[in-house]
Amino acid sequence: MKRIWRLLLPLLTLALSACAGAPRRAALGPNSAFAPPQKAAPPQVQAAAAAPLQPAAVAHTSPPPVTSDDSASKLLSRADALYQAGVKDYSAGNLDQAKDEFDQAVALLLESNLDLQSDDRLNSEFNRLVEDISNLELAALQRGGPMSSHAYEPPPIESFAGLTFPVDPNVRERAQQELSSVQADLPLVSNDYVAGVLTFLQNHGRHYIQRVLAGKALYGPMIEDTLRQAGLPQDLIYLAAGESSFDPFAVSSKGAKGIWQFMADTGALYGLKRNRWVDEREDPVKSTQAAARHLKDLYKTYGDWFLAMAAYDWSPNGLQKAIEKTGYADYWKLRQLRALPSETENYVPIFLATALIAKDPQAYGFEMPSTPAMETDQVVVSEPTDIRLVAGLIDHPVEELVRLNPSMLTWITPPNDSNFTLNLPAGTKDQFEKTIAAIPPDRREWWRAYRVEPGETLASVAHKFHVSTVSLRDVNRVTDNSELDAGSHVLVPLSPVSEASLVRVHERQVLRARQYRVKPGDTIELVADRFDVTPYQIRHWNHLKGSKLTAGRSLVVFVPAPAPSHHRTTSKRHTTAAHTQSSHTSKTKRTQVARASGGSASASP
């Protein structure tokens, strides 16, 4: 039965391909933007993929290596099962889990005792596996993959919260004097603990204070207004200063995020959403509102702001146990008895020292920055929309939109939220609403807006983005191919990626391993381009975790093998056609990646 299936499978594949009338992988080619994307191979063929893959349909003059069919079949089945699990998680939005499963599938083949390089079946499956994963990586980019512009970094306080701070008597005396003239709505205290932190911040912690002052200027009005509306002391703003230096992209070693450093469970308790599309712990406004409610609850529990702060940093349960164990409901007494974690021991002194300096920076040797307060226009986005398109429509850098919308985890606004509020640069709301209306709602994930450069024509723009001149002309209602006005904007109707690309497509091609010695200046991208493969393949073939290469290192690269044949002309023509197809596919993918990430430097991101 298996023998009959092996004979029928190529014929079935050929018949289905003929019915499709197009390549199985959709390409962002010159087709009209309004044409549906090409579909991948029908699922009937995919259903048979669970069976062991057959050798490539190319005659070999030498016998294949001896490999246990049973061992190879089991190995391929396990690898395919991991891949299918990854596809399921990918479709469900569990991108981290999907990546782990894809990596496990590749590692399973790489780390097996079977010879991948000399066994055509294992070799082909391995390379198809890596190719398919690379396609999904590309699809993730184009469907709003993880936003690479998020510059996550640890909060500064983590670098010094556990230190012991020596006291400078001069600093302690000056702090006592300053304390009498500072206005505050919380009980500010100056003691040896606070004076020690003040000494540190004026010397080794200057960068932290400078970031705090800049962040307070940016977010201060919003935070103070939220605290005021909640009936809370305004000086609680310095809790956010100590937590993150007002950085929405601060991520602690324990996974706390945002200006107020919420852990996932506490954030969810106070209504902060966290899914594939957004993490509202990184939203300055929503996280401040949640922090206000949380702090109010803590104060109701303890009746003391220093204890409330300790509970905020540590945990209410941990603090309650410390109080019950010692019999003291006093922060300074608990600190003296070493009943608090080292970080929490310094938490309140850091808060107080930060507040004293921020209230009168010049008295401590700091200058107030000229950072203006953040002002935005807000629009409700009811359809999934790529903010790179938005950036092009309003003619602002996409980095500015990322900064104004830090809770977004992908380039696309959440499809599951028809009332998503998007922050725009102040003064751009009217321009956005006017220009977005010209774009069909179901195309706002894919289309881009491009700013025309001097001397460009409709044809040259179409060539740059690999779309047809006809579709570009129709979308922009241009009647001829005359030179476009420099500085004007044209809409670029990029084609959607087919959802069928999630189905694995098994192309029959034998690859052979080649050794490449890294040259000075080489990067993974350059090497991938040289061999018409993807950077993902280079990384997985060589177990690389990053993108840096060391000159002199030897890399394994798999390239199409010449098809052996007794008829030289036929063999050469077949090999050339295969290489042309491979080259075209690879170049198309690199073009897609470039467009998914914003194209050239002159294109709208």
In order, the DSSP letters of 403-430 are: HH-TTB-BSB--TT-TTEEEEEETT-HH
Q: What is the structure's pLDDT at 1?
A: 37
Token digits of residue 469: 């001149």
| Digit-coded pLDDT (tens) for 536-591 | 678 778 877 666 788 899 998 887 766 444 433 333 333 333 333 334 344 333 33
> CA 280 to CA 389: how far, in whole Å?
23
Q: What is the structure's pLDDT at 232?
A: 98
pLDDT-flagged residues of the chain (< 50): 1-67, 498-509, 563-605
Which amino acid type is present at position 395?
D
State how far Cα 126 lies from the chain centre: 27
Looking at domain 376-494, its CATH architecture is Roll (3.10)
Q: What is the DSSP letter of 231?
A: T
Q: What is the structure's pLDDT at 546?
A: 64
Strand, coil or helix: 378: strand
> CA 132 to CA 503: how far, in whole Å?
9
Strand, coil or helix: 60: coil
Question: 289: which residues sit within 8 A by CB, 6+ positions away?
Answer: 226, 230
Question: 477: which residues sit within 8 A by CB, 6+ positions away?
Answer: none
pTM above 0.75, yes or no: no
> CA 53 to CA 247: how far, in whole Å?
51
CATH topology assigned to domain 156-364 = Lysozyme (1.10.530)
Q: What is the structure's pLDDT at 602?
A: 33
> CA 209 to CA 461: how far, in whole Å?
48
At CA 318, angle to CA 317 and CA 323, rounded to 5?
95
Cα dist from 57 to 6, 24, 52, 54, whole Å = 11, 18, 15, 8
Q: What is the structure's pLDDT at 136?
A: 67
> CA 132 to CA 130: how far, in whole Å?
6
Q: Residue 218's CB: how many other CB atoms inside 10 A?
A: 18
Cα dist from 532 to 29, 406, 506, 581, whole Å = 18, 36, 19, 11
Taking the CA atoms of the chain, what radius of gyration do you get in angstroms? 30
